[in-house]
Amino acid sequence: MNTDLLINAFVTLFVTIDPPGLAAVSLGLTVGMNTAQRRQVALRGTIIGSAILIVFMLAGSSLLDTLGITMSAFRVAGGLLLFYIAFEMVFEKRQERHVKAASRAITKDDIHNVAVFPLAIPLIAGPGSISASILLASEFSTFTERLVLIGILASIAILLYIALALADRLDRIIGDTGRIIATRLLGILLAALSVQYIADGVKNLAAG
């Protein structure tokens, strides 16, 4: 299997799921919880969010076929959405949006359910990561390749759980400056990947 494709898949999923960014948001979601409770929320949210993304990896293309949407059209639409997320990351808008979503959820839902909403949905399995999952699944077409893609997602899920479980320590180590630098660098990478998705989609639409 092409090494570049594997790296592309890892980077795309890592950036759209954004474990470092979610670690900071989870501190606000779990205010008042002890360490054990925070880890329970982290584990449950990670499992549910990852399961949703796996479903879209396996069944997303079938859903598009049912709706009469070509993969080329979805590449363009998904690329535009990913570019918007990249724009938010570079200009520090995404973290602000996540924090607002988290604060709304705390006022509306019981704090014990934050693992499902908003952590799993829409912070982990959101529009960006779902779009990325469907797009990547189109490039990992065989059963074995899909298993490899799920394995890549699983590795990111492990990193995500670690980041969420150790959010308070991670925040102290990285600090605001480190988080801003990392977010902007990852945003630039995602912008480049999204432009490639758009270019491929436009090229296929023009050819077809």
Alpha-carbon dihedral angle through residues 151, 157, 158, 160, given to the nearest 10 degrees: 150
Whether a cis peptide bond, with omega within 30° of 0, leads into 19 is no
CA distance linking residue 75 with residue 81, whole number of Å:
10
Q: What six digits make up the tokens of 175?
A: 């600090």
pTM: 0.78
For 6-24, give one letter per residue: b (16+ CB within 10 A) or e: beebbebbbbbbbbbbbbb
CA distance linking residue 160 with residue 60, whole number of Å:
23
CA distance linking residue 29 with residue 69, whole number of Å:
37
Segments in the chain forming alpha helices (H): 3-17, 19-29, 35-67, 71-90, 94-108, 127-139, 143-165, 167-207
- What pLDDT is stored for residue 108 in this prediction? 42
* Burial of 117 per CB tally in 10 Å (0-12, 13-18, 19+): middle
Q: pLDDT by residue for the chain (208 residues), tens digit each?
A: 789 999 999 999 999 998 988 887 787 777 677 888 889 999 999 999 999 999 999 998 888 889 898 888 888 988 898 888 888 878 876 656 666 656 555 544 555 578 898 789 888 998 889 999 999 999 998 999 999 999 999 999 999 999 999 988 877 777 777 777 877 887 888 788 889 889 988 998 998 7
CA distance linking residue 18 with residue 32, whole number of Å:
24
Whether a cis peptide bond, with omega within 30° of 0, leads into 122 is yes
CA distance linking residue 84 with residue 92, whole number of Å:
12
3-class state of residue 69 by DSSP: coil
- What pLDDT is stored for residue 133 in this prediction? 95
